[in-house]
Structure 1
């Protein structure tokens, strides 16, 4: 774990962002993507359940597909509403280097 930099009393403390949480738009896009993928799998399970049942496939095969088609909407909604806890951003003081432009003083 890095040690925080110590600064002298005459130097200003400059905060530096070291971790930035995922943006709200990116998080929502990811949840929408997971929902659509899950519902696509549900649709495929439903169609396959109907096809396998009408073509005389074993009951356990079409039954498993039908159960998946029934349960996947619940899973899709739970995953879509599961918001990850926002990790607090951390910051640490950074001693400014003297090779940049002049700092504005008060």
Structure 2
């Protein structure tokens, strides 16, 4: 099984999720450091749709840029635009397999799609 993780190596939850993926037999992991290679708006929309999540659920609302942009009351499109422009706003890690997409918070959530 192939698994793609949108990863931030500085994040403990992201590192824990990656460790779960790497420890699971038969899982071939592709790591994308999303701060270096961010997903575009369409990719973000696709990932959240596959996860059954609203983009707001994947927003790091506590980031200073989220407050500067006034995202607290923003709609779906404004949030996706902001995430595409400022990938630090993307909650991590996102993991995708053929079985779906999960936000690795807590990291064990990824077990649902393995």
- Bin of the TM-score, shorter chain as denominator length: under 0.3
Pick 1 or 2: higher relative contact order, CA cutoff 8 A, min separation 6.
1
Structure in which a larger fraction of residues adopt strand: 2
TM-score (norm 2): 0.19
User: Taking structure 1 as the reference length, what is the TM-score of the superposition?
Assistant: 0.20
